[in-house]
Amino acid sequence: MRIGVPKEIKKNEYRVALTPRGVEEFTASGHDVFIEKDAGKGSGYSDESYKEAGAIITDIDEVYEKAEMIYKVKEILPPEYAYMKENLIVFTYLHSNGNREMTDVLLNSKVVAIAYEDIEDEYGMFPLLKPMSELAGKGGFIAAINFSQSIHSGNGLMLARVIGVKPATVAIIGAGSAGLGAAELASAMGNRVVILDIDMDKLEEAKFKLPLNVELLYSNRSNLVETLKEADVLINCILWNKNSKGHLIYRDDLKLMKPGSLIVDVACDEKGAIETSRPTSHDQPVYMEEGIQHYVVDNIPAAFPRTATQSLGNITLPYALEIANKGAEKALNENEYLRKGLCFYKGKLTIKETAMKFSIEYTDPKDALGII
Ligand SMILES: NC(=O)c1ccc[n+]([C@@H]2O[C@H](COP(=O)([O-])OP(=O)(O)OC[C@H]3O[C@@H](n4cnc5c(N)ncnc54)[C@H](O)[C@@H]3O)[C@@H](O)[C@H]2O)c1
């Protein structure tokens, strides 16, 4: 198969779908890889390194002209719409339920689009979300180290064990991939770490993954209130139900917190779990509400493109190779977990959330593929 890897064009996005090691795997299986010039530059991979691995470096038009499968990182943006064509396989993060315009383009162009975020594993988890969540949790804690500093309008606490000084309290809500990532770093630095979750199984898992001194609390209102009073940094890592009308932490609750403390909202839902949250960018990451600094960057992994590219590539490459080796139809027929990620199939919308959100007709992926 001919694989095309474009350079990502989203602002502050420096990741690339494929590393030179990944190119070697494709070429070893007899595939051709077309990479847009400078596609890997932001992640530290030169065109030369891709060429040595067997890729052809070319311009964006030829990448799309030659490709049978486009392998990328972010959703399809307006400058890329014109490249969408019938039967083109698109393998990337899509998040179509938040993007009506792109949804229409992918439907009308009759592409076969498989979204990273919807692929499941045998446990019903989302393996292609996990690595970026871990990075976001860890990056969120690294941001907390930065924005606790007085020179960045913080409260002046060093989030590390210092002889003779009480450690800072880092409270983390949500013991999933992001929460565990944040807790791993926060505890390793010698902070007092409290992690809350409503799922006892997640807390049980955390018990085995995190050091003994990390406190594991059931997330109810009274534990949350106590935690808010004690926290120097609160890191929100929960998966918030977007249909929920209320919040977990209301504006008034911020008055319970110590003045000058910091909220890092990794989950990043506008007025979601945290009423006062609104997404920010790496250019302007923080703002103040009720005397509490908020950091709500919605693409934290973008700050660590080299690590993110490697981590994402490790997990997406086996699926991309399966699609290339078998062809999309056979791969989607044989691999029910990959099939969960099928969102668009030759003019049919095969992802329920997007169909419901935009009132578009939904087709079950099995029906679309003609699987009996
Ligand atoms: N900002 C970024 O750059 C970035 C990057 C990746 C992921 N994320 C976001 O981070 C969030 C977490 O992702 P994840 O992969 O760790 O999710 P996850 O599903 O692995 O974990 C979420 C956890 O939240 C818990 N939870 C739900 N409601 C709760 C409540 N009321 N109180 C306490 N815990 C509760 C769940 O039980 C679960 O353990 C998601 O919203 C994801 O979109 C953000």
Q: Which residue's structure tokens are 């486009």?
A: 70
pLDDT greater than 90 at residue 107: yes
pLDDT the model gives residue 25: 97
Pocket test for ligand 1, best of 266, 271, 278, 300 (most atoms within 8 A of CB): 266
Average of pLDDT values for 351-363?
A: 95
d(CA 204, CA 89): 40
58-67 pLDDT, tens digit per residue, is 999 999 999 9
What count of Cα atoms within 13 Å lies in the side-chain half-sphere of residue 35? 30
pLDDT greater than 90 at residue 122: yes
230-269 CB burial, b ≥16 within 10 A, e <16: bbbbbbbbbbbeeeeeebbbeeebbeebbebbbbbbbbbb
Atom number of ligand 1 nearest to Cα 265: 1
Query: Which residue lies with its CA nearest to atom 6 of ligand 1?
Result: 133
pLDDT greater than 90 at residue 161: yes
Q: Are residues 291 and 145 in the same domain?
A: yes
Q: 127 in a domain, yes or no?
A: no
pLDDT the model gives residue 330: 97
Percent of the chain with pLDDT over 90: 93
Average of pLDDT values for 143-157?
A: 97
Beta-sheet strand order (sheet of 262-265): 215-218, 192-197, 169-173, 233-236, 262-265, 292-295, 286-289
Bridge partners of residue 316, in order along the sequence: none
- Which of the residues 47, 95, 152, 247 is marked catalytic? 95
d(CA 215, CA 196): 8
d(CA 90, CA 39): 17
d(CA 205, CA 217): 13
Here the CATH number for the domain that contains residue 226 is 3.40.50.720
pLDDT greater than 80 at residue 242: no
For 271-339, the DSSP string reads TSSBTT---B-SSS-EEEETTEEEE-BTTGGGGSHHHHHHHHHHHHHHHHHHHHHH-HHHHHHH-HHHH
d(CA 360, CA 104): 10
Q: How many residues does the chain have?
A: 372
Tell me the pLDDT of the chain averaged across its residues.
96
Local confidence band at 308 (pLDDT 50, 70, 90 cut-offs)? very high
Average of pLDDT values for 319-330?
A: 98
Q: 291 in a domain, yes or no?
A: yes
pLDDT the model gives residue 82: 98
Q: Are residues 150 and 259 in the same domain?
A: yes
Active site residue 61: no
Ligand 1 centroid to residue 90 C-alpha, Å:
26
Atom number of ligand 1 nearest to Cα 273: 31
Q: Total structural domains in the chain?
A: 2
Q: Are residues 159 and 268 in the same domain?
A: yes
Q: 125 in a domain, yes or no?
A: no
216-233 pLDDT, tens digit per residue, is 999 999 999 999 999 999
pLDDT greater than 90 at residue 270: no
Q: 156 in a domain, yes or no?
A: yes
Please tell me if the CB atom of residue 302 comes closer than 6 angstroms to any atom of ligand 1.
no
pLDDT the model gives residue 200: 97
Ligand 1 centroid to residue 179 C-alpha, Å:
7
Atom number of ligand 1 nearest to Cα 139: 3
Q: Is residue 281 a contact partner of residue 300, using CB atoms and an 8 Å limit?
A: no
Q: Are residues 271 and 335 in the same domain?
A: no
Q: Are residues 265 and 336 in the same domain?
A: no
Residues 6 or more apart in contact with residue 171 via CB below 8 angstroms: 193, 194, 195, 196, 227, 228, 230, 231, 233, 234, 235
pLDDT the model gives residue 269: 87
Q: 129 in a domain, yes or no?
A: no
Query: Which residue lies with its CA nearest to atom 41 of ligand 1?
Result: 267
- Which of the residues 118, 232, 269, 294 is marked catalytic? 269
Active site residue 294: no
Q: 124 in a domain, yes or no?
A: no
277-304 pLDDT, tens digit per residue, is 999 999 999 999 999 999 999 889 989 9
Average of pLDDT values for 172-190?
A: 98
pLDDT greater than 80 at residue 366: yes
Query: Which residue lies with its CA nearest to atom 28 of ligand 1?
Result: 238
Which of these ranges, 96-100, 167-171, 240-244, 359-363, has the smallest mean pLDDT? 240-244
Q: Are residues 150 and 26 in the same domain?
A: no
Q: Are residues 148 and 240 in the same domain?
A: yes
pLDDT the model gives residue 243: 76
Q: Are residues 175 and 254 in the same domain?
A: yes
Q: Which residue's structure tokens are 């890191």?
A: 235
In 10 A of CB 56, how many CB atoms?
16
Ligand 1 centroid to residue 240 C-alpha, Å:
7
Average of pLDDT values for 95-104?
A: 94
Determine the Cα angle at 191 with ends 186 and 196, to 5°: 65
Query: Which residue lies with its CA nearest to atom 9 of ligand 1?
Result: 267
Tokens of 93: 């993060």
Given 272, 303, 334, which residue is the final one in a domain? 303
68-83 pLDDT, tens digit per residue, is 999 999 999 999 999 9
pLDDT the model gives residue 310: 96
Q: Are residues 168 and 236 in the same domain?
A: yes
Residue numbers of the domain that contains 49 = 2-118+305-369
First to last CA, the chain: 27
8-37 pLDDT, tens digit per residue, is 999 889 999 999 999 999 999 999 999 999
Q: Are residues 260 and 313 in the same domain?
A: no
pLDDT greater than 90 at residue 132: yes
